[in-house]
Every structure is written in structure tokens, then in C-alpha cells.
Amino acid sequence: MIRKNRSKSSPVGIFDSGAGGLTVASAVKQLLPHESIIYFGDTAHLPYGDKSAEAILHYSRKITDFLLGHGCKIILAACNTVSATVWDNLNRYISGKAIPVNVIDPVVENVVRLYPGSFISIIGTKNTVNSLAYPEKIKKLSPGAKVSSLATPLLVPMIEEGFINDDISSAIINAYLSDPKLKGTETLILGCTHYPIIRDQIIDYYENKVEVIDSAMIVATRLKEILESNDMLNESSYVTDRFCVSDHTEYFGKIAAMFFHDQIRVEKIDLWR
């Protein structure tokens, strides 16, 4: 149940530490073009992958308050680090006010169902990997699954700085993916919403011999199912989207342009004043 002042036409709230969550926001708009979204990228504090759980929860709750204050009917934490480290606390905080959704559970359920018996590997931030959220959830659903994880902390700042499809990004990607922990991988989960931006480079490294899982459409599909089951799909023809950041960065707009064809206006909003 959510607050009575939320309606079918209320917006969908999506947040991430930076531009990575735009991959999920784009998938949501493709699947649900009649939904209004409010996106918040906490560019002032990225990356979350090396922050303490206390700091991540503090940032997440501030952003959640902002999204709730603008009437969001559902709040999607489009950040694996948030979903891995502080989700139980944040889930309780959101519940009763809006519908909470994370990005890990839908992906784990999808991978276990579609790739049974596969050697599954996860790459993500230090916090996501150290939390053991992915392997524990995978093992719970598939006790015999072979799972490995590797922290790849340079990928988020690399992407946020605009190093994509060049020699620098190729060298960093190759260095990580050649790690012995990933040897024999059959299914690779991109455990960070930034990583789909470099998915093609990762696929090229594996020469199309590994299933590379992009969480964006999987999560968007789950979000649609949740709205349908709660009878909360927007039936209005009026749609308005907002894109907000805690600090303007040069590359946020460039990444946004990769996923949204229309020119979007990015608002800087300081929630910590």
C-alpha cells in the first residue's frame, strides 16, 4: 500500500550516484513511454562504491525525501551499491510512502531462471562485491550455482570522465576481465548501472562467447509488472520528465544524450545545503 495522495499519474522516481542510472531510466521510458519520471543523479558524491554504508544511506535518504516530496508513486534505486549495502533500511523507509524497487533482485531471479547451471560472474563496485549480495541471493535460489565476483572500481570514474570506446577504457576493461577470478565465466552480470555504457566493449573482449547481462531492461520490466499489479500504470496522456543532479558535470549531459534523443534540461539541486 502507498499513500492515498499518490495516483496513477504520479511520477516514477529513479536515482543513482551519477549518470549510470540513466541506462535504467532509458529502458523505463522505452517500456513505459506514458510514465513521467524524475531522475536524480548524485554527481556531487559519486562514486558510491568506496563510501561507507552510513554515508550511502544518508545520501539515499535525502534523495528519497526529494522524490517523495515530489509525489513519486514508486522509487527505484538504480544503483547496485545502494541495493547491495543499505537496501533493507531504505526499503523500510520508503514502504508505506511509495513502492520501493531495487536493481539486484530482478536480475538475480532472471539469470537463475534463464541460465541454470551456468558459471555466473559479477563485476561491480567494491561495496557491491564486498556485500556478497549477488552470490548470496544467487545461491539462495540455486544452491549449486558456481559464482565468482570481482571488484572493478575504476570503471565508474572512467565512464563518468568520458573514457569510452578508446584505448584507455580498453586497457582498463582488459585488465579487469583477464583476472583469474573470471576465468571460465559463462554468464557475466554487470553489477553496476554504469556498466551497460561499456557493454559493447565487454562483449568484444569475450568475442561474443559470454552472456553479458544488462540489468536495465530486466529492471524496467519488473517495474512495469509492479505498477500493473498495483493498478498504478499511468492512463493520462500528459507526461513530463525531470533530470536533476547534485552537481553539474561535463559528461552527465553527454551520457544523457546517448540515451534520450530529445534535448533534456538538467537541473542542479543541492539537497545538502
* Number of neighbours of residue 98 by Cβ within 10 angstroms: 22
Residue closest to 105 by CA, chosen among 127, 134, 126, 79: 134
Catalytic residue chosen out of the listed positions 150, 192, 202, 223: 192
Residue closest to 190 by CA, chosen among 215, 208, 169: 215
Does 79 qualify as catalytic in the annotation? yes
Q: What is the helix, strand, coil percentage profile of the chain, to 5?
A: 45, 15, 40
- DSSP bridge pairs for 38: 13, 242
Does 72 qualify as catalytic in the annotation? no
Catalytic residue chosen out of the listed positions 46, 75, 76, 79: 79
Q: For the CA atoms of 81, 90, 18, 203, what is the dihedral angle to 10 degrees?
A: 40
Helix 22-31 and helix 250-259, axial crossing angle in degrees, nearest 10: 30
Q: Is 104 left (phi over 0), alpha (psi -120 to 50) or beta?
A: alpha
Residue closest to 83 by CA, chosen among 17, 5, 9, 171: 17
- The set of catalytic residues is 79, 192
